Protein backbone atom coordinates (compact mmCIF):
# COMPACT_ATOMS: atom_id res chain seq x y z
CA UNK A 1 0.00 0.00 0.00
CA UNK A 2 2.75 2.46 0.97
CA UNK A 3 4.51 1.75 -2.29
CA UNK A 4 1.36 2.55 -4.26
CA UNK A 5 0.87 5.81 -2.31
CA UNK A 6 4.46 6.91 -2.97
CA UNK A 7 4.17 6.14 -6.69
CA UNK A 8 0.83 7.97 -6.87
CA UNK A 9 2.28 11.04 -5.10
CA UNK A 10 5.31 11.13 -7.40
CA UNK A 11 3.05 10.77 -10.43
CA UNK A 12 0.81 13.65 -9.31
CA UNK A 13 3.85 15.86 -8.64
CA UNK A 14 5.28 15.00 -12.06
CA UNK A 15 2.04 15.88 -13.82
CA UNK A 16 1.78 19.16 -11.88
CA UNK A 17 5.35 20.09 -12.77
CA UNK A 18 4.75 19.26 -16.42
CA UNK A 19 1.65 21.47 -16.45
CA UNK A 20 3.41 24.52 -14.97
CA UNK A 21 3.99 27.19 -17.64
CA UNK A 22 7.52 28.20 -18.57
CA UNK A 23 7.91 31.64 -16.97
CA UNK A 24 11.41 32.26 -18.31
CA UNK A 25 11.40 35.73 -19.93
CA UNK A 26 12.08 35.94 -23.66
CA UNK A 27 15.07 37.81 -25.04
CA UNK A 28 14.54 40.55 -27.62
CA UNK A 29 17.80 40.66 -29.60
CA UNK A 30 18.89 43.86 -31.31
CA UNK A 31 21.80 42.09 -32.98
CA UNK A 32 23.07 41.09 -35.46
CA UNK A 33 21.32 43.47 -37.90
CA UNK A 34 22.10 47.16 -38.30
CA UNK A 35 18.40 47.84 -37.64
CA UNK A 36 17.31 48.11 -34.01
CA UNK A 37 13.87 46.74 -32.99
CA UNK A 38 11.27 49.32 -31.95
CA UNK A 39 10.10 46.87 -29.28
CA UNK A 40 11.73 46.77 -25.85
CA UNK A 41 13.16 44.03 -23.63
CA UNK A 42 11.07 42.63 -20.72
CA UNK A 43 10.60 45.17 -17.91
CA UNK A 44 13.08 44.82 -15.03
CA UNK A 45 15.45 42.34 -16.70
CA UNK A 46 19.02 42.98 -17.85
CA UNK A 47 19.80 41.92 -21.41
CA UNK A 48 23.35 41.49 -22.73
CA UNK A 49 24.15 41.45 -26.46
CA UNK A 50 27.72 40.25 -26.92
CA UNK A 51 29.63 39.69 -30.13
CA UNK A 52 32.79 39.78 -32.24
CA UNK A 53 33.14 41.63 -35.51
CA UNK A 54 35.69 41.59 -38.33
CA UNK A 55 35.90 43.83 -41.41
CA UNK A 56 38.26 44.41 -44.35
CA UNK A 57 38.79 47.10 -46.99
CA UNK A 58 37.08 50.24 -45.72
CA UNK A 59 37.93 53.89 -46.45
CA UNK A 60 39.58 54.25 -43.04
CA UNK A 61 41.34 50.89 -42.61
CA UNK A 62 42.48 47.73 -44.32
CA UNK A 63 41.18 45.52 -41.48
CA UNK A 64 39.32 45.95 -38.20
CA UNK A 65 38.52 43.44 -35.44
CA UNK A 66 36.55 44.35 -32.35
CA UNK A 67 34.33 43.06 -29.60
CA UNK A 68 30.87 44.52 -29.02
CA UNK A 69 28.72 44.71 -25.91
CA UNK A 70 25.25 46.21 -25.52
CA UNK A 71 23.46 46.21 -22.15
CA UNK A 72 19.74 47.03 -22.09
CA UNK A 73 17.37 47.57 -19.19
CA UNK A 74 13.69 48.41 -19.66
CA UNK A 75 12.63 50.38 -16.59
CA UNK A 76 8.95 50.56 -17.50
CA UNK A 77 6.81 49.30 -20.35
CA UNK A 78 7.64 52.24 -22.66
CA UNK A 79 11.16 53.25 -21.60
CA UNK A 80 14.49 51.46 -22.06
CA UNK A 81 18.04 52.46 -21.07
CA UNK A 82 21.10 51.13 -22.87
CA UNK A 83 24.89 51.15 -22.87
CA UNK A 84 26.89 50.25 -25.99
CA UNK A 85 30.66 49.68 -25.97
CA UNK A 86 33.55 48.11 -27.84
CA UNK A 87 35.67 46.45 -25.13
CA UNK A 88 38.63 46.22 -27.52
CA UNK A 89 39.40 47.29 -31.10
CA UNK A 90 42.32 46.31 -33.34
CA UNK A 91 42.78 48.17 -36.64
CA UNK A 92 45.29 48.10 -39.49
CA UNK A 93 45.69 51.13 -41.73
CA UNK A 94 48.75 53.35 -42.08
CA UNK A 95 49.46 52.35 -38.50
CA UNK A 96 48.37 49.37 -36.40
CA UNK A 97 46.40 50.11 -33.22
CA UNK A 98 44.80 48.17 -30.38
CA UNK A 99 42.65 50.19 -27.99
CA UNK A 100 39.54 50.29 -25.88
CA UNK A 101 36.74 51.26 -28.25
CA UNK A 102 33.96 53.83 -28.14
CA UNK A 103 31.19 53.82 -25.53
CA UNK A 104 27.66 55.16 -25.96
CA UNK A 105 24.71 55.64 -23.63
CA UNK A 106 21.14 55.98 -24.78
CA UNK A 107 17.41 55.81 -24.19
CA UNK A 108 14.55 54.37 -26.25
CA UNK A 109 10.90 55.25 -25.75
CA UNK A 110 7.84 53.60 -27.31
CA UNK A 111 5.42 56.11 -28.83
CA UNK A 112 2.80 53.80 -30.36
CA UNK A 113 2.16 50.13 -29.69
CA UNK A 114 1.98 47.85 -26.70
CA UNK A 115 3.18 44.36 -25.90
CA UNK A 116 0.23 42.75 -27.67
CA UNK A 117 0.41 45.05 -30.71
CA UNK A 118 1.64 43.86 -34.09
CA UNK A 119 3.24 47.25 -34.88
CA UNK A 120 5.44 49.44 -32.69
CA UNK A 121 6.85 52.94 -33.23
CA UNK A 122 9.67 54.25 -31.03
CA UNK A 123 12.18 57.07 -30.71
CA UNK A 124 15.77 56.68 -29.50
CA UNK A 125 18.62 59.03 -28.63
CA UNK A 126 22.29 57.99 -28.26
CA UNK A 127 25.27 59.99 -26.97
CA UNK A 128 28.94 59.00 -27.15
CA UNK A 129 30.69 59.12 -23.76
CA UNK A 130 34.08 57.69 -24.80
CA UNK A 131 36.01 58.35 -28.01
CA UNK A 132 38.59 55.73 -29.01
CA UNK A 133 40.17 57.71 -31.85
CA UNK A 134 40.58 54.67 -34.12
CA UNK A 135 39.37 54.23 -37.74
CA UNK A 136 35.67 53.40 -37.92
CA UNK A 137 33.52 51.46 -40.39
CA UNK A 138 32.21 53.29 -43.43
CA UNK A 139 29.28 55.03 -41.72
CA UNK A 140 31.41 56.34 -38.85
CA UNK A 141 30.82 56.63 -35.11
CA UNK A 142 28.39 59.48 -34.35
CA UNK A 143 28.77 61.78 -31.38
CA UNK A 144 24.97 62.02 -31.13
CA UNK A 145 22.24 60.02 -32.86
CA UNK A 146 18.47 60.40 -33.09
CA UNK A 147 16.47 57.44 -34.43
CA UNK A 148 12.90 56.67 -35.32
CA UNK A 149 12.22 52.93 -35.18
CA UNK A 150 9.34 50.86 -36.54
CA UNK A 151 8.70 47.13 -36.07
CA UNK A 152 5.81 45.03 -37.34
CA UNK A 153 4.75 41.48 -38.26
CA UNK A 154 2.94 40.63 -41.47
CA UNK A 155 2.42 37.49 -43.59
CA UNK A 156 4.78 35.45 -41.40
CA UNK A 157 7.62 37.97 -41.68
CA UNK A 158 9.03 40.40 -39.11
CA UNK A 159 10.08 43.90 -40.21
CA UNK A 160 12.42 46.37 -38.47
CA UNK A 161 12.95 49.77 -40.12
CA UNK A 162 15.04 52.68 -38.80
CA UNK A 163 15.57 56.26 -39.86
CA UNK A 164 18.63 58.01 -38.39
CA UNK A 165 20.08 61.49 -38.09
CA UNK A 166 23.67 61.47 -36.78
CA UNK A 167 26.17 64.11 -35.76
CA UNK A 168 29.63 63.20 -37.08
CA UNK A 169 32.81 64.91 -35.91
CA UNK A 170 36.27 65.11 -37.47
CA UNK A 171 38.57 67.39 -35.53
CA UNK A 172 36.72 70.66 -34.99
CA UNK A 173 34.35 70.07 -37.93
CA UNK A 174 30.89 68.59 -37.42
CA UNK A 175 28.53 67.40 -40.13
CA UNK A 176 25.10 65.79 -40.28
CA UNK A 177 24.62 62.26 -41.55
CA UNK A 178 21.33 60.56 -42.42
CA UNK A 179 20.64 56.85 -42.75
CA UNK A 180 17.91 54.31 -43.40
CA UNK A 181 17.78 50.59 -42.64
CA UNK A 182 15.28 47.82 -43.39
CA UNK A 183 15.56 44.31 -41.97
CA UNK A 184 13.19 41.44 -42.84
CA UNK A 185 13.31 38.16 -40.92
CA UNK A 186 11.46 34.85 -41.14
CA UNK A 187 11.56 31.62 -39.07
CA UNK A 188 12.96 28.58 -40.86
CA UNK A 189 13.25 25.16 -39.17
CA UNK A 190 14.02 26.55 -35.74
CA UNK A 191 16.25 29.33 -37.05
CA UNK A 192 15.47 32.96 -37.79
CA UNK A 193 16.89 34.11 -41.13
CA UNK A 194 17.33 37.87 -41.67
CA UNK A 195 18.08 39.91 -44.76
CA UNK A 196 18.77 43.63 -44.60
CA UNK A 197 19.58 46.63 -46.78
CA UNK A 198 20.95 49.86 -45.32
CA UNK A 199 22.15 53.26 -46.52
CA UNK A 200 24.16 56.04 -44.85
CA UNK A 201 25.38 59.32 -46.28
CA UNK A 202 29.12 60.00 -45.93
CA UNK A 203 29.31 63.81 -45.63
CA UNK A 204 33.10 63.98 -45.23
CA UNK A 205 33.56 61.94 -48.43
CA UNK A 206 30.63 63.40 -50.38
CA UNK A 207 29.57 59.79 -50.93
CA UNK A 208 27.15 57.10 -49.79
CA UNK A 209 27.62 53.80 -47.97
CA UNK A 210 25.17 51.05 -48.95
CA UNK A 211 25.23 47.47 -47.72
CA UNK A 212 23.44 44.14 -47.84
CA UNK A 213 23.43 41.97 -44.69
CA UNK A 214 22.43 38.34 -44.15
CA UNK A 215 22.26 36.63 -40.77
CA UNK A 216 20.86 33.65 -38.87
CA UNK A 217 19.87 33.36 -35.22
CA UNK A 218 19.04 30.30 -33.15
CA UNK A 219 17.24 30.37 -29.77
CA UNK A 220 19.08 27.90 -27.56
CA UNK A 221 16.58 28.89 -24.85
CA UNK A 222 13.93 31.59 -24.66
CA UNK A 223 16.43 33.92 -22.99
CA UNK A 224 19.58 32.84 -24.90
CA UNK A 225 19.95 33.39 -28.66
CA UNK A 226 23.12 32.82 -30.74
CA UNK A 227 23.68 34.48 -34.11
CA UNK A 228 26.09 34.95 -37.00
CA UNK A 229 26.24 36.47 -40.46
CA UNK A 230 27.98 38.71 -42.95
CA UNK A 231 27.59 42.09 -44.62
CA UNK A 232 28.78 43.21 -48.06
CA UNK A 233 29.30 46.83 -49.05
CA UNK A 234 27.79 47.78 -52.41
CA UNK A 235 29.52 51.11 -53.10
CA UNK A 236 33.18 51.96 -53.57
CA UNK A 237 33.29 53.79 -50.22
CA UNK A 238 31.52 51.02 -48.29
CA UNK A 239 33.36 48.47 -46.17
CA UNK A 240 33.89 45.58 -48.58
CA UNK A 241 33.22 42.61 -46.25
CA UNK A 242 32.15 42.24 -42.64
CA UNK A 243 31.56 39.05 -40.63
CA UNK A 244 30.14 38.78 -37.13
CA UNK A 245 28.95 36.30 -34.52
CA UNK A 246 27.64 36.55 -31.00
CA UNK A 247 24.77 35.94 -28.62
CA UNK A 248 22.00 37.65 -26.69
CA UNK A 249 21.39 36.65 -23.07
CA UNK A 250 18.55 37.92 -20.90
CA UNK A 251 19.22 37.37 -17.21
CA UNK A 252 16.32 35.20 -15.95
CA UNK A 253 16.08 36.99 -12.59
CA UNK A 254 14.10 40.21 -12.39
CA UNK A 255 15.81 43.15 -10.69
CA UNK A 256 12.60 44.41 -9.11
**Would you say the pTM of this structure is higher than 0.75?**
yes
Q: Is the pLDDT of residue 177 over 70?
A: yes
In a domain, 5, yes or no: no
Please give the pLDDT value at position 24.
Answer: 80
Q: Is the pLDDT of residue 9 over 80?
A: no
Q: Is the pLDDT of residue 7 over 50?
A: no
pLDDT band with cut points at 50, 70 and 90 for residue 8: very low
Pairing of strands 79-85, 103-112: antiparallel
Residue 68 belongs to domain spanning: 24-250
Q: Share the mean pLDDT of the chain.
A: 91
pLDDT band with cut points at 50, 70 and 90 for residue 139: confident
In a domain, 205, yes or no: yes
Please give the pLDDT value at position 94.
Answer: 85
Please give the Cα distance from 73 to 90 (Å, whole number): 29
In a domain, 255, yes or no: no
| pLDDT tens-digit readout, 26-52 | 999 999 999 999 999 999 999 999 999
Contact residues for 167 (Cβ-Cβ < 8 A; gap 6+): 142, 143, 144, 145, 174, 175, 176, 177
| pLDDT tens-digit readout, 76-121 | 999 999 999 999 999 998 899 999 999 999 999 999 986 666 799 9
Give the three-state DSSP class for 50.
Answer: strand
Please give the pLDDT value at position 159.
Answer: 97
pLDDT band with cut points at 50, 70 and 90 for residue 23: confident
**What is the CATH classification number for the domain harbouring 128?**
2.40.160.40
In a domain, 139, yes or no: yes
In a domain, 209, yes or no: yes
Which of 8-12, 135-139, 184-188, 216-220 has the weakest average pLDDT? Answer: 8-12
In a domain, 16, yes or no: no
Please give the pLDDT value at position 20.
Answer: 58
Q: Is the pLDDT of residue 12 over 70?
A: no
The candidate with the shortest Cα–Cα distance to 43, out of 68, 80, 10, is: 80
The candidate with the shortest Cα–Cα distance to 42, out of 28, 53, 59, 63, is: 28
In a domain, 96, yes or no: yes
The candidate with the shortest Cα–Cα distance to 225, out of 19, 37, 17, is: 37
Please give the pLDDT value at position 115.
Answer: 61
pLDDT band with cut points at 50, 70 and 90 for residue 5: very low
Please give the pLDDT value at position 171.
Answer: 84
Domain count, the chain: 1
For the segment 163-174, the average pLDDT, to the nearest whole number, is 93
Percent of the residues in the chain that have a pLDDT greater than 70, as a whole number: 90
Amino acid sequence: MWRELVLLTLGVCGVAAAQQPDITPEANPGRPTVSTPATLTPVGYLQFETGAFGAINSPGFSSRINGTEVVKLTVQSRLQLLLESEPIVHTRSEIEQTKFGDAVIGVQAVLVGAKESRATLSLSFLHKIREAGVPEVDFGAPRNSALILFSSDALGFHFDANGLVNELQEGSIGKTQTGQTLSVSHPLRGLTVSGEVWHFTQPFLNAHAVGNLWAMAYPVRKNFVVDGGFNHGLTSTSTHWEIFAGFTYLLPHKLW
